[in-house]
C-alpha cells in the first residue's frame, strides 16, 4: 500500500515511509492469518486493512500523548518544589516568604505545564492525522497548502493574541513578577492577583482591578521581588542642627529595628545616607531601610510617626513654607533694637537625644504614661490650664 508524502514533509519522508510500512505489514500479516473468503478480498484490502491501520495509529498516538502528559506533570511537580542549593539543601526562608515563593513557583509551573501539554498534543495528533489520511490515499499537498493560507490569514487577524501569548510565556520563564508582587506597568500599578498567558490582573490601592494584556506591557517595575527598600527623605528647617537631626533619625531607626515585632521585617541595619537635597524650605536627610518584600510601606509609616515624636521632643523644627521679605523705607527701621541677640535654633545635647528616642516610642492612638514625662510641655489655654 502506497502513501502519498506531502511536499512540506519531504525531510521526514524516509521515517514516515518506514513507520507506515511496518504498521501496514503487521496489519496485513494479521489479516492473512484470518480465514477470509475470496469474495471479501476487495473489502479487506480497501476498508478493513486501512481501518485497522488507522486505529493502530490512533492508539499509538493516544499512548504517546498520555506519556507526554505524565512526563510534563512530573516536570511541573519538580518546579513546584522549594528551591535548593548546589549541595541539595533547602534554602532557609521564613514561613511567609516561603508561602509567597511557593505560590509564585506553583503559578509559573502550572502555566508553563499547560503550554507544554498543549504543544505536545498538537504535534502528536497532527502527525497521527497526516499518517491516517495517508492510509486512505488522500492528497495532502492541497490540504496542507490550504491550511497554510488559512493560517496566514488567521495570523494576521490574531497578531495581538499571539503577541500576548508569547509575551506571557517569556514573562513566566524569566520570572519577571508573580502573584502577590507589587508592580508598575506604566498606566496601572498595584498588587498582582492573577497571571495567565493572555493577561495580568492588578489590584490598585483604591480597589480598582486592572486587566492588562501581556503584549501591551513594555516595561515592568517590580517593587517586591526578593526584597524591598523603604526610602525616606526627612525634611528639617534650615535653622535646625543637621548633625543632631541625623543622629536622632539614625537612633530612632536602629531602635525600631531592635524591637521584636518590627525587627523581623528588617533585612539590614538602617542607613542614614546624609543630606539629599537643599530645598526651598527644608534640608532633606535621606534614610534607607532594607526590608522583606512588601513590608517597606508599613516600616516607612512607623518610622515617620516615631521621627515626628522624636523631633518634637528634641525641639527640632519640621520645615514649613518660608519666605524672605525685604522692607524698604525712607528712614532706617530697627527690628528688635541693635542689642537684640541673633535668632538661633536650640541644639539638643546627649540627654535630649536620649529623651527624643524614648519619646519616639510613644504609642499610636494613645499616650504611654511611661514616656509622657519625656514629651515637651503642652501649651496652656486662655485660663492657664494645660491642654492634654
Per-domain residue ranges of the chain = 11-84+94-138, 170-222, 228-325+344-372
How many other C-beta atoms can be found within 10 angstroms of the C-beta atom of residue 384? 6
Segment 327-352 shows an average pLDDT of 66
User: Does residue 386 have a pLDDT over 50?
Assistant: no
Query: What are the helix and strand counts (H, E) for the chain?
Result: 11, 8
pTM of the model: 0.57
| Residue with more model confidence, 64 or 225 | 64
In the chain, where do the E strands start and end? 182-184, 189-195, 199-203, 209-213, 221-222, 228-236, 271-278, 283-291
Residues in CB range of 300: below 8 A, 6 or more apart: 230, 231, 232, 289
Tell me the backbone φ, ψ of residue 290, rounded to 5 degrees. Answer: -95, 125
C-alpha cell at 69: 502528559
How many other C-beta atoms can be found within 10 angstroms of the C-beta atom of residue 131? 21
Residue 189's DSSP bridge partners are 184
Segment 51-77 shows an average pLDDT of 86
The listed CATH number (3.40.50.300, 3.10.20.30, 2.30.30.60, 1.20.1630.10) that belongs to domain 170-222:
2.30.30.60
Mean pLDDT is lowest, of 118-127, 143-152, 314-323, for 143-152
d(CA 278, CA 176): 37
pLDDT at residue number 289:
93
Whether 36 contacts 44, CB under 8 Å: yes
Segment 166-186 shows an average pLDDT of 83
User: Does residue 236 have a pLDDT over 70?
Assistant: yes
**Over the stretch 134-143, which tens digit does the pLDDT of each residue have?**
777 777 777 7
Segment 144-152 shows an average pLDDT of 75
pLDDT at residue number 90:
47
pLDDT at residue number 8:
40
The listed CATH number (2.40.33.10, 3.40.50.300, 3.30.70.100, 3.90.1530.10) that belongs to domain 228-325+344-372:
3.30.70.100
Whether 214 contacts 169, CB under 8 Å: no
Question: Which CA distances in Å does 232 have to 108, 121, 296, 307, 361?
Answer: 34, 53, 10, 11, 19
Amino acid at each position: 500500500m502506497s502513501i502519498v508524502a506531502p511536499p512540506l514533509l519531504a525531510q521526514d519522508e524516509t521515517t514516515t515511509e518506514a513507520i507506515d510500512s511496518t504498521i501496514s505489514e503487521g496489519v496485513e500479516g494479521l489479516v492473512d492469518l484470518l480465514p477470509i473468503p475470496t469474495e471479501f478480498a476487495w473489502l479487506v484490502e480497501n476498508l478493513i486493512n486501512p481501518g485497522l491501520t488507522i486505529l493502530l495509529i490512533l492508539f499509538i498516538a493516544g499512548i504517546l500523548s498520555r506519556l507526554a502528559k505524565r512526563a510534563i506533570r512530573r516536570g511541573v511537580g519538580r518546579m513546584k518544589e522549594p528551591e535548593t542549593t548546589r549541595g541539595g539543601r533547602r534554602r532557609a526562608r521564613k514561613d511567609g516568604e516561603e508561602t509567597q515563593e511557593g505560590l509564585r513557583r506553583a503559578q509559573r509551573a502550572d502555566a508553563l505545564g499547560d503550554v507544554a501539554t498543549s504543544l505536545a498534543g498538537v504535534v502528536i495528533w497532527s502527525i497521527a492525522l497526516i499518517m491516517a489520511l495517508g492510509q486512505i490515499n488522500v492528497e495532502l499537498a492541497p490540504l496542507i497548502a490550504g491550511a497554510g493560507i488559512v493560517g496566514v490569514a488567521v495570523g494576521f487577524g490574531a497578531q495581538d493574541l499571539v503577541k500576548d501569548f508569547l509575551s506571557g510565556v517569556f514573562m513566566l520563564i524569566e520570572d519577571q513578577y508573580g502573584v502577590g508582587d507589587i508592580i508598575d506597568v506604566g498606566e496601572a500599578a498595584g498588587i498582582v492577583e492573577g497571571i495567565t498567558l493572555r493577561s495580568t490582573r492588578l489590584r490598585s490601592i483604591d480597589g480598582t482591578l486592572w486587566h492588562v494584556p501581556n503584549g501591551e506591557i513594555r516595561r515592568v517595575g517590580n517593587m517586591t521581588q526578593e526584597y524591598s527598600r523603604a526610602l525616606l527623605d526627612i525634611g528639617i528647617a534650615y535653622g535646625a542642627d543637621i548633625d543632631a537631626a541625623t543622629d536622632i533619625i539614625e537612633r530612632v531607626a536602629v531602635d525600631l529595628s531592635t524591637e521584636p515585632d518590627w525587627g523581623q521585617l528588617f533585612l539590614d541595619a538602617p542607613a542614614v545616607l546624609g543630606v539629599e537635597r537643599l530645598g526651598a524650605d527644608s534640608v532633606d536627610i535621606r534614610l534607607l531601610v532594607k526590608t522583606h518584600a512588601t513590608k517597606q510601606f508599613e516600616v516607612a509609616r512607623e518610622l515617620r510617626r516615631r521621627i515626628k515624636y522624636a523631633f518634637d521632643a528634641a525641639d527640632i523644627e519640621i520645615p514649613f513654607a518660608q519666605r524672605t521679605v525685604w522692607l524698604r523705607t525712607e528712614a532706617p527701621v530697627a527690628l528688635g533694637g541693635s542689642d537684640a541677640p541673633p535668632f538661633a535654633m536650640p541644639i539638643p545635647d546627649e540627654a535630649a537625644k536620649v529623651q527624643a528616642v524614648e519619646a519616639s516610642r510613644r504609642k499610636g492612638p494613645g499616650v504611654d504614661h511611661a514616656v509622657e514625662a519625656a514629651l515637651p510641655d503642652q501649651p496652656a489655654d486662655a485660663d492657664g490650664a494645660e491642654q492634654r
